[in-house]
Structure 1
């Protein structure tokens, strides 16, 4: 059983060491405002629990040199980011530095047994490299709504067979450690908060544009999940009642207009209609098209592909403008596979948002592309479970 801190002081000390790295006892005492004797009691107890250890002496500050404390180097946490078409698995140390990261294609529609076995196989590869003899906790992200309290997906539109599947319980039993499950975009938001562009922002939106579209909402430094866990499901906000039918059954959702799946659909239609020689050639070569092909077409200056991306950016900007006027965030981060389309997409989103939202809400609002690429989800997953491990029961 993984040791846990026993009180709020120990929790704060562990999180400081996680977020800021090794610190001297003197520095820790100044931050947490504990007397030297009380601090010694708490750190000694954390050492007994094998959560921290000494790491030499700090530089002299004019008197006796203070000892340095760090998190135990044996701590290992796992992040599993399950997407619609791929899985990423990472092992980190207690400071959430990635020690090993593997990914593989996998279709979430194959069901929970197949997909979770695949995730554990990938983790097995990392453990086989000696990266994690003992696992202290695991965080898992899935591409659909999640009951965070119960650790189960709830009626996820693109995940047949996953409804109410006990993901948390199943993986916890197999790994023998605490496990938490959340929506994938919530974990990306946590990743940005821990290691990305949102490190100093308490209120922000993390927008993922991939096979689907979702939004992580961070309020006062915490993920806002809503009453039932479906907060941020912006992909199913309607933008055109006469638009294409969405996987949720409604017509004209944002996700049906612009997502990885929608781009692939529209690219095939454009290729077959003769509108894009570039996409037609790709379709003839591969028999199918993806958002990557559209990105390549944009890079090649294909006017049809550029128009598709701009139209998609306009739709995303339309939805974001409403969210920003309502929520007034300090930052908007755009991530996910389709965000790889880059600045042509970002420019369109920004243009619509700045034009349609109130100047008071957008006057100092950065809208940026994530710089964490494919690690935001796994970092966020380890941050999620780390917050759990580093909290008093």
Structure 2
């Protein structure tokens, strides 16, 4: 792979001073978030003087990040001109990889999805084939966006990738992922940075889902949340103090391989026994549903097996919703196992909100009820006094949206903004990912 370079802001390699960039980032964030829409509002929220606000707005407008909007409401004098963030100045490419499918999308700089595709894949095919497929899908989406805008430029400002396994966030490399043979240590970030000449961030898919809910879903405005993905595998994303918590190496929240049983007969894909994922994940539901069908314990599943030749987790869900007793027992048992582990996490971490997402989360009220019952019964009363447990509102889009916001959050940190604000775009500067932050995004 070719080496990446860190961009400079111009002839003065020292760039803007930290205080200058901090004030630029503050003004930009106030407008981007919708907190302030006029210069007087920026001054009130930021504490910056009127002259400084005017200077920073002019700088951000000159480099194409802000633009004038309509007149705002008057507070007695001349009506102020509203300011708008130019979310259409560039695009972000995002991809969420699961065990059996991949979702890719293009968003604007405010995280709004402009176009998306979802296709089946097999993560076990390895990084060369899977990432090659993703690159083709990105190219297709960029072409579609270009056609829809009459050939307008679609500069790629950054790329966000969510992978279904542990990721060392600092390097963007998977680390011994249980369901991803051939991916260990693969330079995902470097490959895509070379291909699209843009900064790339790679994270675990569940962290991306948690970030999606935090920025654009049911957790918006919350400070302490726990996002739980119930799919083929099981994982969790933690948000503490309004920031994603990845841990020191990036593997915080890997609850799927926590031991919840001493049963030595069920071996997990990680090689251990008794893992939550091996007993309550989507693959576990499919396995147990297949056994029930073959043993004649579920006429509904036996009929599905006879027709399709296999049993999937969603077949068990449909059977349970149709009143199939065995399927109800399987879902209830899975919910109680998940809920029992979450009860420990709720008492330990004390979130205000637990969000249940992923494919298995769509199994209906039965699974959610079993999870809630275990959590409320086994957690500390103080920890559950105001706790909400709810389904994801973003559903299948959570990981995609979160991967885009991962890029957006990183690009607009003051340290990185300092390196691209003068040229007006981070496109062409993949080395931005290597710039250290004074206060790291956790």
| TM-score between both structures, scaled by the size of structure 2 | 0.86
Alpha-carbon distance between aligned partners in 2 of 1:367 and 1:141, rounded to the nearest angstrom: 24
**1:119 correspondence with 2:134:** yes
CA contact (8 A) 1:92 1:99 kept: yes
Structure 1 residues 156, 23: CA separation in 2 closer, same or farther (over 3 Å shift)? same
Alpha-carbon distance between aligned partners in 1 of 2:233 and 2:395, rounded to the nearest angstrom: 17
Structure 1 residues 378, 260: CA separation in 2 closer, same or farther (over 3 Å shift)? same
Alpha-carbon distance between aligned partners in 1 of 2:36 and 2:301, rounded to the nearest angstrom: 52
Alpha-carbon distance between aligned partners in 2 of 1:2 and 1:93, rounded to the nearest angstrom: 25
Task: Count residues with an aligned counterpart.
Answer: 393
Structure 2 unaligned residues grouped into runs of 5+: 1-6, 10-14, 147-152, 416-442
CA contact (8 A) 2:292 2:298 kept: yes
Alpha-carbon distance between aligned partners in 2 of 1:54 and 1:386, rounded to the nearest angstrom: 22
Between 141-150 and 79-88, the greater mean CA deviation after superposition: 79-88
* Deviation, structure 1 residue 320: 0.4
* Deviation, structure 1 residue 20: 2.4
* Deviation, structure 1 residue 21: 7.7
Task: Find the partner of 1:186 among 191, 207, 210.
Answer: 207
Task: Find the partner of 2:121 among 72, 85, 106.
Answer: 106
1:230-280 CA-to-partner distances (Å, cap 9, x unmatched) read 111000110111151111111110000011111111111111011111111
Find the counterpart in structure 1 of residue 34 from structure 2: 20
- After TM superposition, the structure 1 = structure 2 runs for residues 301-320 of structure 1, keeping only pairs within 5 Å, are 301-320=323-342
* Deviation, structure 1 residue 61: 2.3
* Deviation, structure 1 residue 283: 1.1
Alpha-carbon distance between aligned partners in 2 of 1:17 and 1:139, rounded to the nearest angstrom: 23
CA contact (8 A) 2:36 2:45 kept: no
* Deviation, structure 1 residue 22: 7.7
Find the counterpart in structure 2 of residue 360 from structure 1: 382
Structure 1 unaligned residues grouped into runs of 5+: none
Find the counterpart in structure 1 of residue 420 from structure 2: none
Alpha-carbon distance between aligned partners in 2 of 1:42 and 1:22, rounded to the nearest angstrom: 14
Find the counterpart in structure 2 of residue 68 from structure 1: 82
* Deviation, structure 1 residue 24: 2.0
The root-mean-square deviation of aligned C-alpha atoms, in Å, is 1.8
Between 249-258 and 19-28, the greater mean CA deviation after superposition: 19-28
Task: Find the partner of 1:382 among 404, 415, 436.
Answer: 404
- After TM superposition, the structure 1 = structure 2 runs for residues 335-374 of structure 1, keeping only pairs within 5 Å, are 335-374=357-396
1:83-109 CA-to-partner distances (Å, cap 9, x unmatched) read 111111121112111111211111111
Alpha-carbon distance between aligned partners in 2 of 1:64 and 1:76, rounded to the nearest angstrom: 36
| TM-score between both structures, scaled by the size of structure 1 | 0.96
Task: Find the partner of 1:80 among 91, 95, 104.
Answer: 95
Alpha-carbon distance between aligned partners in 2 of 1:344 and 1:111, rounded to the nearest angstrom: 36
1:15-34 CA-to-partner distances (Å, cap 9, x unmatched) read 33333288222222222221
Find the counterpart in structure 2 of residue 221 from structure 1: 242
CA contact (8 A) 1:21 1:95 kept: no
